[in-house]
Amino acid sequence: MAFDPAVIRASFAVVERRADHLTTFFYAHLFNHHPALRPLFPAQLHEQRDRLFAALTRIVLRLDEPERLTEYLRALGRDHRKFQAAPEHYPAVGASLIAALRQCSGHSWTPEAEQAWTEAYTVIARIMSGAAEELREHHPAWWEAEVAGRRRAAADLVVLTLAPMRPYPFTAGQYLTLSSPRTPRVWRPYSLANAPRPDGSLELHVRRVPGGLLSPVLVEDVMPGELLRLGPPLGEAVLTPGSDRPLLLVAAGSGWGQTKALLEQLTAAQPEREATVLLAARTTAGQYDLDAVRRMLTRNPRLQVLTAAPDRSAGTGGTTALLRRTLLGHGDFTGWEVHLSGPPELVDELAELLLTLGAAPELVRHDPAPVTFNRARPLTSSEWFLDRRDVPWINRTDLG
């Protein structure tokens, strides 16, 4: 790459302390100079600003890893098709980015820094727009899908059945991003809770997130007959083709949806393969879809399912503690293929534990996830760095 990574890193070290100011200035500049672009963005820009800063940070961190950086940018370019990003938009975004960096750099902004950022953005735009263009002719930017059914599975969770208007190709274990006309331009990731079906229908398990922008609408308001918009399938937490290794699947809460999809594929293709499922919830009331679990047990003679929920007195960490004890009791997972699905903190902790129990890193799979889930916005630059926030629009599309 032509630009100087050292200059970019030194420049970013200055502006990262003014992250909120930088992203606010960026969007103000962009919409002031190109008002026609405003309708492409959500009404509320808080998360969009977080998304921009998260992407910039990730790019700067990967400057010395050209292959990973390129793959990340390609994934970002493909994902931006659903936001209606077009090649002609990239120069406007680049001009506003340079303006924001210049504004927030003060006296540290130099001709050398401007040249480096300009060259870097030229590369970024070329890779992102090129990846999007490769898909344009044969792959839609999104799919329209009708809500064919909804079932209240728990007080705060619904199972939605969707009927895409055109074939939606995916592999069990992948996820999609979804948007509703009720919340325009707000996209959220949801695991596909089924293996591909002959009728092409899709199943999603949606739990209401307090304060969320989309999940309360899906859980409480969206009804059969409504149309939703689906982004392309994403994720690599799929079963290894042809593998006969023993399989461990750990699911917590609505993480059962992804696990269910993997089990459907396993039961259809490899019913003789040894598989153990640990299915946990915060409380016994949080366990749902147990009829589907029983049906899978009757179809797969080598499937073992353990369901459990901690005592109410165990507190918020009770589920993780319960699963840790169960895994430690097993002892050795050398040679096992492992799939984890559930809250990010639980997944990260269990992945680390399984590595100490012999599991190979390349055989422990789960979707990309943030360390914490915190929707509060930082009030100071110190809080920005001390409080690691979830950026829900980007954390599961990081395929690089």
Q: Which domains does the chain have, with CATH numbers?
A: 5-138 (1.10.490.10), 143-230 (2.40.30.10), 247-365 (3.40.50.80)
Give residue-wise pLDDT tens across range 17-56: 888 899 999 999 999 999 999 999 888 888 888 888 888 9
Provide the pLDDT for residue 32: 96
Give residue-wise pLDDT tens across range 102-147: 999 999 999 999 999 999 999 999 999 999 999 888 889 899 999 9
**Residue 58: HSE in the Cβ half-sphere, 13 Å Cα cutoff:** 22
In terms of Cβ atoms closer than 10 Å to its own Cβ (0-12, 13-18, 19+), residue 312 is exposed
The three-class DSSP label of residue 205 is strand
For residue 391, name the pLDDT band (cuts at 50, 70, 90). very low
Provide the pLDDT for residue 390: 46
Provide the pLDDT for residue 398: 40
Q: Which residue has the tokens 């949080």?
A: 286
What sections of 283-364 are H helices per DSSP?
Answer: 290-299, 318-330, 344-356
**H or E element: which one contains 112?**
helix 111-136
Of 14, 3, 17, the closest CA to residue 64 belongs to 3
Q: Where are the beta strands (DSSP E) in the chain?
A: 143-154, 157-164, 175-179, 188-191, 202-207, 227-230, 247-252, 275-280, 303-308, 337-341, 364-365
Provide the pLDDT for residue 312: 66
Provide the pLDDT for residue 42: 86
Give residue-wise pLDDT tens across range 242-299: 999 999 999 998 999 999 999 999 999 998 999 999 999 877 777 898 898 899 898 8
Percent of the chain with pLDDT over 90: 62
Please give the Cα distance from 189 to 341 (Å, whole number). 13
Provide the pLDDT for residue 282: 78
Q: Over 70: is that where the pLDDT of 375 sits?
A: no
Give residue-wise pLDDT tens across range 185-220: 889 999 999 999 999 999 999 999 888 889 999 999
